[in-house]
Amino acid sequence: MKNPRCLALLFACAVCVGIHPVDAGDLELTETEDQIRVTLRGKPVLEYVKTEKPVPEGIEPHFRRSGYIHPVFTPAGQEISGDFPADHAHQHALFFAWTKAGFDGKNVDFWNQAKDLGKIEFREVVELKHEEQQVSFSVKHAFTVGAGDKRVDALHEIWTVTVHHTPDDHFLFDIESAQQCASDKPVTLGKYHYGGMAFRGNIQWLKENEDHSIDPGDLVYLTSEGKDRWKGNHTRANWVAFSGKIDGQDASATVFCSPKNFRAPQHVRIHPNKPYFCFSPMVEGPFRIAPGEKYVSRYRYLVTSKPTDVKKIQQQWDGYTRSEK
């Protein structure tokens, strides 16, 4: 048994440096000033970005952002997500942003940061929680409009991220986004071809424009309806899977759209050559988030170090839909 005085000293040191661990057996959640990190059996699962990261060389400063997840790791340790890609620096790994929006009579775009029409930022940690088979954290985001001292909050969002205890062959986590108006003014979303909950993959999966060839190890998409990255764009899907090789190692991820979500099964935007896609309910038509209402979205993420396995994905989907009833 460890000396109680030593344990007390260790805890005191952790607090001094701003490290707050939440342990659930093999699952550990650790918060620092800049991030929240989850590991399973000592392996990294994901990291949440609290503090804006410095932009890479050659990237403009306005592409900085907080309030997203990167990296997302595979069980073999590959970073399956990508951040600050030179081709589209506003695509930040696992993120949620609206594109063609309106607020207080102004056109707003929270997705395309270069336009400087809207911004999304981390505000605070709401809760860290551990249970027997999972750990979770809840964080608050603000969708802001304007510039400088005149910037105002349009939406407030709570992300609750839950990481489940799983066998060695896969990671499994959920994200719930709950958005509410920050004032008595609504946020409108126009019909558009992308926007919503998005995932940007590793830069190694980037293809040249109009290149439809599939070489060994290239990124391959598959939707629940059997569509690939070219035929699947703007179709409805319960889930979207993508897989390929990263540094020679197989990697795959599947994102499940909850049947409770608005307009589920939602339309998906799958880019023809860039390694990203998003669930985009505005493809069907405009809608709005009104004061006093709550816009809730739920998604589940399955990450493996193997190629896409449709049988395993369907088993996970069946379990997910049962839990969402």
pLDDT by residue (tens digit) across 108-146? 999 999 999 999 999 999 999 999 899 999 999 999 999
pLDDT score recorded for residue 86:
85
- The arrangement of secondary structure in 45-323, i.e. its CATH architecture, is Distorted Sandwich (2.70)
Q: Which of 6-20, 210-224, 288-302 has the lowest mean pLDDT?
A: 6-20
Show the tokens assigned to 315: 């088993």
* Nearest alpha-carbon partner for 252 in 214, 190, 186, 202: 202
Are the C-beta atoms of 182 and 156 separated by less than 8 Å? yes
Mean pLDDT taken over the chain = 92
What are the residue boundaries of the structural domains of the chain, listed by start? 45-323
- Residue 105, CA atoms < 13 Å, CB-side half-sphere: 0
Question: pLDDT digit string (tens) for 37-88?
Answer: 999 999 999 999 999 988 888 899 989 999 999 999 999 999 999 999 888 8
Mapped onto helix, strand or coil, the DSSP state of residue 35 is strand
Mapped onto helix, strand or coil, the DSSP state of residue 142 is strand
**Mean pLDDT in residue range 231-252:** 97
Are the C-beta atoms of 129 and 22 separated by less than 8 Å? yes
Gap between the Cα atoms of 127 and 291, Å rounded: 25
**Mean pLDDT in residue range 269-281:** 95
Query: What percent of the chain has a predicted confidence (pLDDT) above 70?
Result: 92
104 confidence band (pLDDT: 50, 70, 90): very high
Are the C-beta atoms of 12 and 1 separated by less than 8 Å? no
Q: Which of 7-11, 107-111, 117-121, 294-298 has the lowest mean pLDDT?
A: 7-11
pLDDT at 148 exceeding the cut of 80: no
pLDDT at 150 exceeding the cut of 50: yes
Helix or strand (DSSP H, E) at 319: helix 310-323
pLDDT at 15 exceeding the cut of 60: no
My answer on whether omega of the bond before 71 falls inside 30° of 0, hence cis, is: yes
Mapped onto helix, strand or coil, the DSSP state of residue 145 is strand
21 confidence band (pLDDT: 50, 70, 90): low
Contacts of 119 (CB under 8 A, 6+ apart): 65, 110, 113, 143, 144, 145, 151
Query: What percent of the chain has a predicted confidence (pLDDT) above 90?
Result: 82
Angle at 194 between CA 285 and CA 57, to 5 degrees: 155
294 confidence band (pLDDT: 50, 70, 90): very high
Higher-pLDDT residue of 73, 24: 73
Gap between the Cα atoms of 141 and 118, Å rounded: 13
pLDDT score recorded for residue 22:
60
Gap between the Cα atoms of 170 and 41, Å rounded: 12
pLDDT score recorded for residue 19:
54
**Mean pLDDT in residue range 175-179:** 98
